[in-house]
Amino acid sequence: MNNEHSNNNENNEKEIFEKLTSKQVNILLTGATGAGKSSTINALFNQDLAKVGTGPDPETMDIKKFTYKNLTLWDSPGLGDGKDNDIRHAKNIINMLNKKDNDGNLLIDLVIVILDGSTRDLGTSYELINKVIIPNLIEEHPEKRLLIAINQADRALRTPNGWDYEHNKPTAQAVKFLNEKVESVKKRVKEATNIDVDPIYYCAGFKDEYCSQKPYNLVKFMSYIIDKLPKEKRFITIMNTNKNKEMWEYDEDLKKHQNAIFQQISNAIGEISKGTVAGAVIGATIGSVIPVVGTAIGTVAGTIVGGCIGLIKSFF
């Protein structure tokens, strides 16, 4: 009898795990040249864009695509490369936004528009957001499938006291400036489209033979991404994040955003399991496998699949 009960639990856990990992996630990233799409992808998902191929058909020939397990990232040029190129890029983005998967659902789960925080000239980015992307997000609430992210926060305020390099965070003066930039983006989009957006600022970081800059606010960025994705696609996304813990160390409110992600994933697992598997999971255990979640969350009780932890570890 015990063996039968054990086998049923194991089968149930495997079934839930399959549901959690069988979905395909598609994220489209776009933004002006130099905004940092490549560095953002590398920071969040640890992907080497040198291995990326072009799109699979003429409609998306300018859009780079690569897939890692169940996660597909589409890297599209933004506007600002000349009138003819802008027209072509806009058409390609519109085609992507209207593409459907084999089940007849919209292919793209989330559009992330990367803005260059180091420049004041965001005119082409507003053209992209207000005239190309939002009008072609055909759902009733297009903001649910759109995230605007302001990169290069470390260079936003071009003064010697614009960044605290010792603690890898913006100075108080820079925080004020960046928050004003966020509000400005919200206002410009609202005025043009009547859509409310909630932009985030961050630093993707970089490293070359001459110098390096550590990432900042990636945990908050990821919490925004996870929150906008369908619940059934959150787990597989977090499983594909960068496993380098150093990428997630610096955040304006690290514990808050770690907890936000943990709760988002917990709720998704609970909904998928329909409460059939209950138990407690130690946040530190998950954190050892998924660094973005962190190791300082503590014990969380609820409809979390305890048996998934072993399966997660074997997943790697």
Q: Which is higher by pLDDT, 201 or 274?
A: 201
pLDDT tens-digit map of 30-42: 998 889 998 999 9
The span from the CA of 194 to the CA of 261, in Å, is 29
The whole-number pLDDT of residue 47 equals 64
DSSP, collapsed to helix, strand or coil, labels residue 191 as helix
Strand partners, 301: 280
Nearest CA to 193 out of 245, 239, 247, 136 is that of 136
For the stretch 182-201, pLDDT in tens is 999 999 999 999 999 999 99
DSSP 21-36: HS--EEEEEEESTTS-
Residue 303: pLDDT band with limits 50, 70, 90: very low
Question: From residue 84, how far is each of 136, 171, 316 by CA, in Å?
Answer: 20, 41, 45
Domain ranges for the chain: 24-229
CATH of 24-229, one of 2.40.30.10, 3.40.1790.10, 3.40.50.300, 3.90.79.10: 3.40.50.300
Predicted confidence (pLDDT) per residue in 219-250, tens digit: 999 999 999 999 889 988 988 888 888 899 99
